[in-house]
Structure 1
Amino acid sequence: MKNIKVLGSGCKNCETTANLIRIAAEQAGAEIDLEKITDMAEIMGYGVMSTPGVVVDGKVVHAGGLPGPDLVRQWIAE
């Protein structure tokens, strides 16, 4: 099971990113543990300065702006 964290304040882009990940996992039949991290100190601990950020299994894979659907599917498939 993949651990995926969406880093952000809870803004619309952060919520949309979390929903994109949830939908991609459902479509792929993949089980994920999806967390939303809103604590700015924890977000900055990952080195993310612009949100939303995405962390997959402890590795930052995206920061700033909405990720494209193909990129989200790639995170789920890896």
Structure 2
Amino acid sequence: MEIKILGSGCVNCKKLEENAQKAIRELQVDSTIIKVQDIREIMKYGVMRTPAIVINEKVKMAGKVCTAEEIKRYIAEEQ
């Protein structure tokens, strides 16, 4: 499973990444987290507000920091 964190590297982006790592640990899912900071790459996903989380190339949430529990639900949708 591939999880992408889209954003500039701001505090909210870092918190979203931490929450994603926590969700992965708790679910014991084999996953890779990739940080995407290039604005052109981010815009390819149609994301206008960051941070955003993309799982298996599907935008799950943009413009807010998801909790680990929300991310767990998104991961379950993609399994």
Deviations 1:33-62 (A, max 9, x none): 110000000001110000001111011111
* Runs of 4+ displaced beyond 4 Å: none
Give aligned pairs, total: 77
Aligned position for 1:40: 39
Amino-acid identity (%): 38
Aligned position for 2:18: 19
Q: Give the unaligned 5+ runs of structure 1.
A: none
Aligned position for 1:61: 60
SS state of the match for residue 54, structure 1? Answer: strand
Query: How many Å separate the matches in 1 of 2:75 and 2:54?
Result: 12
Query: How many Å separate the matches in 2 of 1:3 and 1:15?
Result: 17
Query: How many Å separate the matches in 1 of 2:41 and 2:68?
Result: 26
Equivalent position amino acid for 1:50 in 2: R
Q: Give the unaligned 5+ runs of structure 2.
A: none
- CA RMSD across the alignment: 1.0
Normalising by structure 2, we get a TM-score of: 0.91
Normalising by structure 1, we get a TM-score of: 0.92
Query: How many Å separate the matches in 2 of 1:22 and 1:34?
Result: 8
Q: Is the 8 A contact 2:52 2:63 kept in 1?
A: yes
Q: Is the 8 A contact 2:49 2:62 kept in 1?
A: yes
